[in-house]
Amino acid sequence: MNLQPQNWQQKRKDDLESNMKRIIDLIGDYEKALTYEEDPAKITKTRDKIVNLKAQQKECQDDLNSCEQAQLERKNLALTMTSITDEDIGFVIAALLRQRVFSCEDQDDFRLTNPEQKMSKNGLTSDIRISLEMGLGKAREVRYLIEKNAKINFPDVPEKLRAALNAEYLRLVEEGIQGDELFKRLHNFSSCQNPDLKWITAGLAILGYFFETCDVFEP
């Protein structure tokens, strides 16, 4: 189940660029006014306005740089997500199983949930949306691998994986972590804290699967 596509990232960048142009134009106007102003009080006031605007300009530029960096990171993540294989996801699943092994009861209720409603209930914002969309896009492949592994090798694989993620979720909630930060911490956990982009994308696919089909996060 996919979320509806959003253009919020591009809109934010457009808004920042528009604000930057407005600030630069104002600075130019005030600097031009200074060349004709003779009143010392008005000169001081105008210079203060210029200083304030330049501070806003720097803040706006920092936001633009951050926005562009985030777009680049998401683009790289999306490109890698299209190329990860079942083997890549399998490695991460195996690593998760080695990392945490729990017994888990009453885990047979796999409920598909509405992603939009679940995002809202868990306080997840549009900053998480694109990452979640990519994870949900691979959820079916993750389900296939988990069920295949359970049938061929170890029947308790689904329960152990679910219990591991639930235990980490509860640990983070008890620490007061919530919303976007909670999702990011769980993504880091589902990727086994591995910085390799293939592990990050595989971990995102696993988290997307459990977000959609079980009781990780509030249903």
CB 103 within 8 A of CB 155: no
Q: Is the pLDDT of residue 95 over 90?
A: no
Both 30 and 68 in a single domain?
A: yes
Please tell me the predicted confidence (pLDDT) of residue 112: 47
Please tell me the predicted confidence (pLDDT) of residue 15: 87
**Which residues have CB under 8 Å from 34's CB, separation 6+?**
43, 46, 47, 50
CB 71 within 8 A of CB 13: yes
Q: How many separate domains does the chain show? A: 2
Both 10 and 72 in a single domain?
A: yes
Both 133 and 195 in a single domain?
A: yes
139 sits in which H/E element: helix 139-152
Both 102 and 40 in a single domain?
A: no
Please tell me the predicted confidence (pLDDT) of residue 214: 58
CA angle 146, 199, 209 (to 5 degrees): 40
Please tell me the predicted confidence (pLDDT) of residue 133: 80
With DSSP H G I counted as helix, E B as strand and the rest as coil, what are the percentages for the chain, rounded to 5?
A: 75, 0, 25
Burial (Cβ within 10 Å: 0-12, 13-18, ≥19) of residue 214: buried
Give residue-wise pLDDT tens across range 9-31. Answer: 677 788 889 999 999 999 999 99
Of the candidate ranges 19-33, 53-67, 74-88, 192-206, the one whose mean pLDDT is the lowest: 74-88
- Alpha-carbon span 186 to 124, nearest angstrom: 13
- Alpha-carbon span 105 to 204, nearest angstrom: 25
Both 130 and 210 in a single domain?
A: yes
**Mean pLDDT in the chain?**
78
Enter the DSSP assignment of 2.
Answer: P
Strands (E), the chain: none
- Alpha-carbon span 158 to 198, nearest angstrom: 22
Give residue-wise pLDDT tens across range 116-172. Answer: 777 777 778 777 877 888 888 888 888 878 777 666 665 667 777 788 888 888 889
Both 73 and 123 in a single domain?
A: no
Cβ neighbours around 207 below 10 Å, total: 26
- Alpha-carbon span 123 to 117, nearest angstrom: 10
Please tell me the predicted confidence (pLDDT) of residue 55: 94
Structure confidence at residue 48 as a pLDDT band (50, 70, 90):
very high
158 sits in which H/E element: helix 157-174
Please tell me the predicted confidence (pLDDT) of residue 142: 84
Both 70 and 110 in a single domain?
A: no
Q: How many residues does the chain have?
A: 219
Both 177 and 196 in a single domain?
A: yes
Can you give the residue range of the structural domain that contains 141?
A: 85-219
Both 22 and 39 in a single domain?
A: yes
Both 102 and 174 in a single domain?
A: yes
Structure confidence at residue 64 as a pLDDT band (50, 70, 90):
confident
Give residue-wise pLDDT tens across range 96-132. Answer: 666 544 433 433 444 445 667 777 777 787 778 778 8
Both 49 and 147 in a single domain?
A: no
Q: Is the pLDDT of residue 49 over 60?
A: yes
